[in-house]
Amino acid sequence: VAWQDVKPYEDIVYQKADGIAKITINRPHKRNAFRPKTIVELYEAFSNAREDSRIGVVLLTGAGPHTDGKYAFCSGGDQSVRGHGGYVDEGGVPRLNVLDLQRLIRSMPKVVIALVAGYAIGGGHVLHVVCDLTIAADNAVFGQTGPKVGSFDGGFGASYLSRMVGQKKAREIWYLCRQYSAQEALDMGMVNCVVPVVQLEAEGVQWAQEILQKSPIAIRCLKAAFNADCDGQAGLQELAGNATLLYYMTEEGSEGRQAFLEKREPDFRQYPWLP
């Protein structure tokens, strides 16, 4: 794939090619831990991919290997900038802005695939959890550390994880803070497949290309439907938004707008009350 850089960033690399966006967390010296600025950049890139009608799939990955030969997807919040009320940005304001990013990944009507080589730990683990699909390299290592480092993610990081792997396993993951291999993650239903690390990006591109052959509206409605099952009213809003989109695309929906603009009563009698 001939990746084209979209825009230079400090903490990430953002590229596109043939309907696919690739977003790479680029702090390998910190095992790709995120600071507030990293999240601002990720949020901007994901928003750009969301708005670009040519993009159907986003690959989220981590730069690597580092100079010590180790790989990382993301090791969560950068503990060296963690202050009293969150992760402190360059202006001195403490933030937990990764939660906004989680919601964007989850609600955007495009398929987001995590490509995990090496560590997906802490808030970095939650990032792969909220992606639609996860492809793991054979060297991937998964785990939460919150109770060990004085943190926790009781949102998607707990509730959605437990939908994925079951309550017992999710509690084990959070209470014991162990690390799990790619094969163990596959057995738990936390990842879709495991491939040799050298094949990781090619596999992600292959999955993306298969998805891009499919109907965009079918995929967006399915994503919203899968989310609605766990996301309460916000999930229903997403699903219903798609119903509204489809309704706008019908003659029946257009009739209401047309009648208003033409200052006449709408004629909905021409449309059937289907069984």
Annotated binding site for substrate: 31, 75-79, 87, 119-123, 145, 151, 248, 263
Structure tokens at 153: 């993610």
CA–CA gap between residue 184 and residue 189 (Å, rounded): 9
Which is nearer to ligand 2NE, 151 or 159 (by Cβ)? 151
Q: Which amino acid is at 108?
A: M
- Cβ atoms of 173 and 160 within 8 Å: the answer is no
Interface with ligand 2NE, residue 123, by CB under 6 A: yes
Phi-psi region of 33 (alpha: psi -120 to 50; beta: other; left: phi over 0): beta
CA–CA gap between residue 243 and residue 9 (Å, rounded): 36
Stretch that binds ligand 2NE, among 9-17, 27-35, 51-59, 233-241 (CB under 6 A): 27-35
Sign of CA dihedral 1, 61, 22, 136: positive
Which is nearer to ligand 2NE, 151 or 192 (by Cβ)? 151
Which is nearer to ligand 2NE, 82 or 216 (by Cβ)? 82
Interface with ligand 2NE, residue 206, by CB under 6 A: no
Least separation in angstroms between residue 84's CB and ligand 2NE is 15
**Stretch (H or E) spanning 141:** strand 141-143
- Shortest CA distance to 144 belongs to which of 129, 123, 116? 123
Which is nearer to ligand 2NE, 15 or 75 (by Cβ)? 75
Stretch that binds ligand 2NE, among 40-48, 108-116, 119-127, 252-260 (CB under 6 A): 119-127
Structure tokens at 190: 């936390």
State which of residues 132, 153, 201, 231 lies at the interface with ligand 2NE (CB under 6 A): 153
Give the residues lining the site for ligand 2NE (CB under 6 A). Answer: 30-31, 33, 70, 75-80, 96, 98, 119, 121-123, 145-146, 149, 151-153
